[in-house]
Amino acid sequence: MSLPVLTYRCTSCSFMRLGSITWGRGYYLAGESRLPMSSAAGWCHSCDDLRAIEVLPSADAEVKLQDELADLQSRLRVMDTSPPPRKRWWQFKTPKDSARPFLESQLEAAKARLSDYQRLRQALAARNTHPRCLNCGAEDCLRFPPYEVDYFDTAAPPVRIGFSHPGCGGELTAACEGTRLAMNLTGQAYDLEGERLPEYSA
Ligand SMILES: [Zn+2]
Ligand SMILES: [Zn+2]
């Protein structure tokens, strides 16, 4: 499977990195269970480079998942209390018949996402350390602020991401220039403090 990859550049110097160096599929090993780790592109001051930065689960993100679930539940309630659409003679199924299973499967998926997230938050509740650089393990790193890049328009101008290149002063930009790369689907294991577990890497 190949995916579009972002190209990061600096407005003042020749710095250029492919966003694929931030790709990865890490997981926390908590006893026997594997909990998915989130990461995002950012800057590690220890590596002095663009890196994947660990994203710890947050109360805000959990609230967002709860809201999604509540929204689906209320849509299902509305569907069940509204009068059924009149069936036409050529229709085997009313629109409601097909919409309900779809909404139900979305609801089940949202429930699973929320409970996985709650399990993750609980596992990391005693975490003492800050998010780490997933390359060197340093805590002296930070995620880029949120930015949006058009993945479909490869001729779109680069987006300034609101982060200045340390030691340079130029601003980093991101663009999808049409490069695609295959994603490596092997996972890397970490302990609950975000320390890499080399013996589990496969
Ligand atoms: Zn620069
Ligand atoms: Zn680092």
Ligand nearest to the CA of 43: 2
Helix (H, G, I), strand (E, B) or coil at 97: helix
Separation CA 124–CA 38 (nearest Å)? 13
Which of 31-40, 82-91, 107-116, 186-195 is predicted most confidently? 107-116
How does pLDDT run across 7-36, given as a tens digit for each residue? 999 999 999 999 998 887 899 998 888 999
Give pLDDT tens digits for 192-202.
999 999 765 44
Domain ranges of the chain: 2-56+128-200, 61-123
Return the closest-CA partner of residue 189 out of 36, 27, 53. Answer: 27
Q: How many CB atoms lie within 10 A of CB 108?
A: 11
Reported as a pLDDT band with limits 50, 70 and 90, residue 124 is very high
- Reported confidence tier of residue 2, pLDDT bands at 50, 70, 90: confident
Give the ligand whose atoms come closest to the C-alpha of residue 17. Answer: 1
CA torsion sign, 191 to 65 to 122 to 30?
negative
- Find the 76 Cα to ligand 2 centroid distance in Å: 46
* Separation CA 92–CA 122 (nearest Å): 47
Give distance in angstroms: CA of 178 to centre of ligand 1. Answer: 22
Lowest mean pLDDT segment, chosen from 22-36, 88-102, 166-180: 88-102
